[in-house]
Structure 1
């Protein structure tokens, strides 16, 4: 049986499954025949779990058991800023679990149950897997899943773990705006070097991406976004307005009752959708307030636009900043592609078109489905199944700036060069500087300057439990690996002691603006002479410190009585550590002194582990 790979848009509000087979791209409907499935779970009080539209309708009876917007909660701690700000909008209970991790609790069979966002996402993915297998009539185990471009390492890893728990092997986490662009390019004949901007406003997240179509690939030039901005926040604008009316005009606080909060949220979401089609929506509230059997609140499109104006403007600000960062003028954007259900809102379309000088916008017929379709296209490109043969349109991601570490003297040692195609990896072998050194730390940097202090610091990796050895005789392999999911892993490993330590950093192309990259390159070009001078200085300084360390080791080991030379070496080593390039003349003089006082002794006594004699590099 062919190993079919599907694409899944695991959305905040709705999820969608798509597949490309036999030259055709199609959406895989759920068991109700629906093309999208609400990302909604309801835990029935007496046992059992419902999903989608059914879960939504059942949750009216017990709102605390209806869980939604899980995607917004993954990878977050209980005291996370988002959780503190927005948890009062949810009818379900969010509490602190192990190590302050966020958990969602509810009652089932008179027992308190706690679920992590990862477990809940896994349940949704299991349900989507079931739908896909029913439609394709065979098992499906491989998938491409879309994520917001601004997802961090933790959020990406939780998504991967949830998919694994659901029985999937994830071939790639694909950024949502990139997926939308893939779907658009597949349906349209796009010229070479064509520059597009994707505006993706979904139920829970907002992304903007600038992409360039080339002969056989799509290059991501810049991305921006907000994982806390989407259709749900627009619902909250209406919800806050209704809360305020009930409080002021009817002396009722609907925020304290989960049942009322859930009922009102559904009505606000329905009103928002109506206002994309008509100029006025009516919200009818029955039996909620004592002495007021029915309350009718009229919401106009103008009023909604006023209440949501700050959020609308925020999306335009993010779009504007993305263009600035990429150094691409709005006039060079040849097409603006809209995706995500919230782009149906007329005011949003008006603001985007106005920003681009009245430009016509390109909208998908089904903006809720295009991200899943892009995922399915990427899935077909990664598939080995003959049924999924597809013309390759490669998504190119490269390392925008060189990656490496800082070593003695603040020198930047590059492991992965800029413009290396992702995924990629590289390594460096460390030797111990001092005798019996059993631990060390290494700072990880990106940039083009040889002085790490002038580059961007990404983090520090520390490792201990190492084998004690003479200077320069113990080896630790330090590696950097960037995978296709945009995660940079730094790892240190010593084979003899089997000590291993690793850390992870988010390193998607969108983590770096085009302006940052260009500024780094310009900075390196303008300081080329100073950098050569620094490199010569630091290499001489490193050599002297290494030489003195091993010289002192041999004096001690052989119990040789050269007290004055020993004191000179100890003091010189101490002085060298803090010397900067401005003191190059002093370092040159010290190099000559070391040569005069130490070389002959080292040769006569055949000192071990001594570094090869080095000419002074200073000019």
Structure 2
């Protein structure tokens, strides 16, 4: 059995494979000798499938059969804003499939074929696996695969499923900026307590991470990012400009023709790259508009920067909020590490350097390869292969906001506190309210407020078939677990029987910007007195509710309803009204508490009622 493990950067634009053996990392080239492989698939109408550089060149024949940017479609709904905006730029057809998931359709062998983003990623990963095995001359089944730090749980699960279908056992999903930092730390003598910032601007996504190097681990202090911001969005800014020029000056709508969109996109991408070293790029369009066989559009660096200024500034805003969340001033950042192809753009480097007071930026020799190298290092650390012995350096991420459950009165029952290191696990034991409760539903929230209605709803967990038991005598344990891949699982277990339910919840940093996280923490701090008052109110309200339920249970079990009819009516009305009382009625609840104790305590003591809650 072969235990050699590789690292894979499954990129939006390009993918890259790396392996660590015998004390060094190396990039595994593709069949053409390329160190990176375009994440591009072409389905030849006659049935063949091409991946990479050859696929890009072949797509000239039939642009609608050339598929790219698949990673940005992973785990999304068809009506997702990004997909709807992007429809005008893609030459291929995207439509709504099962459960509103996007599917890509094309013609092959005289019939319409549909592929999901997961299936397309599997095709790319299968080809990467083939390249790796050819270079290493052995079977390779184990891999660490990188994902954007802001991928949500659905996107991570789809990535795992695609890799599994491609024949891989995934040892870990590693966040891309963390992988870049790992590669940087490995290649440089970094001292303890060193604080670095990774600015990862790739073709399809943007991530920023602040990390601290300790003795034997790297701790992630904060993360920011946007899974809809990358080099392709810069291309789209140029493409929008070209569409506008063609409509305005040549009365031609290129968005109506897949071949035109493909040709123009390639020219826009080339112009963007050219402007990294030149002050002007020329886009020449031949044979597109009948009345104008040759069209020349000049694009200056100044115009490019003007068109993309909002996107550049957005990355700086995300970076700024990331620093604020980590409670670290920009002066404490010792290294600014650049990775991702879009960091070659001079304006981005200029803005970053200015933000950090003219600091020298640390650039990888090839920013397209560093993430794969970091993945290879992590793979070696998790490998059992003797050729991959490497010093262990543990990567430690944290939970950005507390996670918990909605309990009685909308009180937040925290299971995992914020800043808990990942992997993390927490639980809450729930007791039944009524004898005939045979099911239980609990809502899962994220946030720091004591009132769940002021936190963020994540999902729901339901368990049925519960064992009947007197009020307060049957326990269900609700468990939250965040694994190393950042996937949150909720689990319900009944303690009286082997009854278990489990659900995966849509949660990761990808659902929350650092700005939202910061605002959540500020709101909790500013409303501390309000939250404490709510907590005390729910406490007494919960006691009254439990007391009334147990009292009514005993009246029913002992056939005392007729003897104490007026007391029973009082208890039932109070229990009903209690559900609708809010914190501003705290005095009313306290008065009901006193009245309840005065009327019910003597009866409970006289008949020695069971399961009555202890006095507050």
TM over 0.5: yes
Say which is worse superposed, 61-70 or 17-26, in terms of deviation: 17-26
State the match for 2:340 in structure 1.
340
- Determine the C-alpha separation between the residues in 1 that align with 2:42 and 2:230: 22
SS for the counterpart of 1:308 is: helix
| Residues 224 and 510, structure 1, Cα contact 8 Å, conserved in 2 | no
Report the equivalent of 2:289.
Answer: 289
Counterpart residue number, 1:216: 216
Question: Over the residues paired in the alignment, what is the CA RMSD in angstroms?
Answer: 2.7
1:231 counterpart residue number: 231
Further displaced range: 515-524 or 428-437: 515-524
Does 2:501 match 1:500? yes
- Secondary structure (helix, strand or coil) at the match of 1:88 reads coil
Aligned to 1:482: 482
What is residue 15 of structure 1 aligned with on the other side? Answer: 15
Aligned to 1:546: 546
Decide whether aligned partners of structure 1 residues 87 and 450 sit closer, same or farther in structure 2, where only a CA change above 3 A counts. Answer: closer
1:570 aligns with 2:572: yes
Q: Whole-Å Cα distance in 2 between the matches of residues 100 and 445 of structure 1? A: 25
Change beyond 3 A, Cα 1:236–1:404: closer
Q: Which residue number corresponds to residue 309 of structure 1?
A: 309
Cα deviation 1:494-516 (Å, max 9, x = unaligned): 47594635240323499474745
- Residues 223 and 510 in structure 1, CA contact (< 8 A), matched pair in contact too: no
Residue in structure 1 matched with residue 405 of structure 2 by the alignment: 405
Q: What is the aligned residue count?
A: 611
Shift of 1:74: 1.1
Rounded Cα–Cα distance in structure 2 between residues aligned with 1:267 and 1:339 = 24
Partner deviation per Cα, 1:177-199 (whole Å, 9 max, x = no partner): 11111111111122222222211
Q: 1:583 Cα shift? A: 6.1
Distance 2:232 2:536 in 1: 57
Secondary structure of the residue that 2:220 maps to in structure 1? Answer: strand
Deviation at 1:476, TM superposition (A): 2.7
Contiguous gaps of at least 5 residues in structure 2: none
User: SS in structure 2 opposite 1:204?
Assistant: coil
Partner Cα separation in structure 2 for residue 177 and residue 418 of structure 1: 21
Aligned-pair CA distance for 1:94:
0.8
1:48-63 matches, within 5 Å, as 48-63=48-63
1:165 shift after superposition = 1.3
Kindly report which structure 2 residues correspond to 1:60-99, keeping only aligned pairs within 5 A, or say none.
Answer: 60-99=60-99
After TM superposition, give the deviation of residue 545 of structure 1 in Å.
2.0
Q: TM-score, normalised by structure 2?
A: 0.91
How far residue 210 of structure 1 moved from its aligned partner, in angstroms, is 1.7
Partner of 1:245: 245
- Matched residues in 1 for 2:227 and 2:157: separation? 16
The secondary structure found in structure 1 opposite 2:421 is coil
Is the Cα–Cα contact under 8 Å of residues 327 and 515 in structure 1 kept in the other structure? no
SS at match of 2:438: coil
Alignment-derived partner of residue 262 in structure 1: 262
Which runs of 5 or more structure 1 residues have no equivalent in the other structure? none
Q: Secondary structure at the match of 1:84?
A: helix
Give SS of 1:139's match. coil
Deviation of 1:239 (Å): 2.1
- Of the structure 1 ranges 374-383 and 234-243, higher mean CA displacement relative to structure 2 is found in 234-243
Which secondary structure does the structure 2 equivalent of 1:471 belong to?
A: coil
CA deviation string 1:417-456 (max 9, x = no partner): 4443211223333232023123333233345565545655
Q: Is the 8 A contact 1:461 1:503 kept in 2?
A: no
Per the alignment, residue 271 of structure 1 pairs with 271
Contact kept, 8 Å, 1:487 with 1:508, in 2: the verdict is no
**Residues 214-261 of structure 1, C-alpha deviation per residue, up to 9 Å, x if partnerless?**
222222222222212211122222222333333333333222111122
Relative distance call for 1:63 and 1:506 in structure 2 (3 A) is same
Cα gap change, 1:564 to 1:298, in 2 (>3 Å): closer
Q: TM-score, normalised by structure 1?
A: 0.91
Q: 1 CA distance for matches of 2:246 and 2:270? A: 19
Superimposed CA distance per residue, residues 152-209 of structure 1 (whole angstroms, 9 cap, x where no aligned partner): 2221121111111111122221111111111111111222222222111111111122
